[in-house]
Amino acid sequence: MKRTIKFYVFCFLGIFLSIFIIYAIINLRKNIIIINKTIYSSSFPKSNFKSTYNSKINFSDTPVAEINGVNLNILSETNIANVPMLLKSQRYYIPLSFICDKLSYTLYVSVNEILLYGNNNKISLTKDCYYKNSNSGSLRGNLIKYNGTYYISISDIEQLFDLVAVFDFKNNSISLINSNVKAPEEPYILYSDKIALMRWEDFACGGSNFTDTNQTKIKCMADLLYSKGVKFHVSWIPRFKSPEDNIDNDLLKNNNIVNVGFVNLLDYLINRGAKIGLHGYTHQHGNEESGTGEEMSKDVNNTIPETRSIVENGIDTASALNIPISYFESPHYQKTQLQRKVIEDYFQYIYESFDGSQSNIYKSDDYHLFVPTPLGYVHDSNPSSIIDGLNNYNPYILHSFYYHPFVELKYINFDTTNNKLNVTYDENSPLQQIVRTLKTDKYTMVHIDELINK
């Protein structure tokens, strides 16, 4: 009898202990990070890092100008005449009432809020935020009240009304047409036992991105990642220079439709799940071209004032254009220890190895995290090294890689017939192959600023 009682007591205690352990693990998972089945919580920085630098140029202070000569097409209605248009921080704006009328939305404006109803949608707007049905987010261009009329940016029209803007630089026109992008296949999962990070490299308004069709193709790439629930990063070079071609594309000075298209593209990437980081300021010096040249090394800009100037110029450009930035990546990973110390004054996350030897994340102190890309990048349109790295389960190597978007462009074609963005996308493209591998191997894609102790 006593043995029977002891047996039941042990069974009860065993069940209770099992439940307690499961409960503890579930709650523990809320406070730790697991990468490749290794607990890294103690290796992650604290969340209360804040740069002391205040940008010298803010989006709220940039001027608003009236513009003319830009042709606007909305769905089947082409060459719409007499549309008032504004320019602010490389974004075009049109009256909110005008776009609501064209898309059959009812607009209510009161002292406290702005409401839009149409197509089974309810949209509430503040100056800088939107609430659409059960979703919310930040407006990329904010609302502008000009001469008593509210204006909304092309970027925010895309997001709120499920449209895509296709630019035609030659004809100085913009077509707002239906987007065929699908919502993510599954909800974002913050962390799992297997995570990966993707970064787009050397992204600037220069080279292939000077072309309107290529800018649209980049949107198609973002739609692919968004539809698969793949988070990604974009390392942005704010100022593209090619002295031998007499090009100095300063986005704070050169107001034109090409730069408006590019900032619209950055907005689109953000709305499709991208985090933007600074990849230097010009990524060059002397007569070198941006992306291929040096900007920070033991021989170039190797003083504290020079390094601060690079970082602050990049931050100021982002601030003036209202582009949120999450990290810094030194051009060609060539920062010196002195330059690294300066960068750490401004950024918590540095998207590269601490000293070139680490193959996993490295916390240099309580506030900074270095995140390398041990899997490298796609060489000559061949993603096999990335795919092999993802297939190879190694808990000591962070599954992080980067990709130059221009490599993907030749695999994408599109047309705009029937007022839609109709995309033909080669399923054997490098990015398509990588995405299939990520999904097959059950990776969860994360952003660099999610690697933090909450």
Question: How do residues 22-77 score in pLDDT, each as one tens digit?
Answer: 343 333 333 334 444 444 445 577 777 889 999 999 999 999 999 999 999 999 99
pLDDT score of 45 = 79
Across 258-377, where does the E strand assignment appear?
274-278, 325-328, 349-350, 362-363, 369-370
Contact (Cβ atoms closer than 8 angstroms) between residue 397 and residue 360: yes
* Residue ranges of the chain whose pLDDT lies below 50: 2, 7, 9, 16-41, 454
Q: Other CB atoms closer than 10 Å to residue 121's CB: what's the count?
A: 13
Beta-carbon contacts of 15 under 8 Å, excluding residues fewer than 6 positions away, are: none
Do residues 143 and 154 lie in contact, with contact meaning Cβ atoms separated by under 8 Å?
A: no
How far apart CA 242 and CA 228 sit, in angstroms, is: 36
Record the tokens describing residue 212, joined without a space.
């309107």
Tell me the torsion sign for CA atoms 434, 440, 446, 448: negative
Residues 6 or more apart in contact with residue 29 via CB below 8 angstroms: none
| pLDDT given at position 453 | 56
Question: How confident is the model at residue 134, as a pLDDT?
Answer: 87
Extended beta strands in 301-435, E state: 325-328, 349-350, 362-363, 369-370, 400-403, 412-415, 422-425
Q: In the prediction, which pLDDT does 21 show?
A: 40
| Fold for the domain defined by 62-161 | Copper Amine Oxidase; Chain A, domain 1 (3.30.457)
pLDDT for 12: 52
Of 3.40.640.10, 3.40.718.10, 2.40.50.250, 3.20.20.370, which CATH number belongs to 178-450? Answer: 3.20.20.370
Which tokens in the block code for residue 299?
């021989």
Q: Please, what is the end-to-end C-alpha distance for the chain in angstroms? A: 51
Check if the beta carbon of residue 152 is closer than 8 Å to that of residue 93.
Answer: yes
**pLDDT value of position 182:** 78
| Exposure class string for 4-42: b at 16+ Cβ within 10 A, else e | eeeeeeeeeeeeeeeeeeeeeeeeeeeeebbbbeeebee
Instruction: Give domain limits for the chain.
Output: 62-161, 178-450
In this structure, are residues 152 and 267 in contact, taking their beta carbons and an 8 Å threshold? no
Alpha helices (runs of H) in 368-429, residue ranges in sequence order? 384-391
Quote the tokens at residue 407. 């490599």
Provide the pLDDT for residue 109: 95
| Total number of residues shown for the chain | 454
Are residues 191 and 39 in contact, defined by beta-carbon separation less than 8 angstroms?
no
Q: What is the pLDDT of residue 18?
A: 47
Lay out the sheet containing 129-132: strands in order across. Answer: 106-109, 114-118, 121-125, 129-132, 135-138
Region class of 274: left (phi > 0), else alpha (psi between -120 and 50), else beta: beta
Q: How high is the pLDDT of residue 11? A: 53
Q: Are 284 and 238 in contact (CB under 8 A)?
A: no
Give the model's pLDDT for residue 25: 37
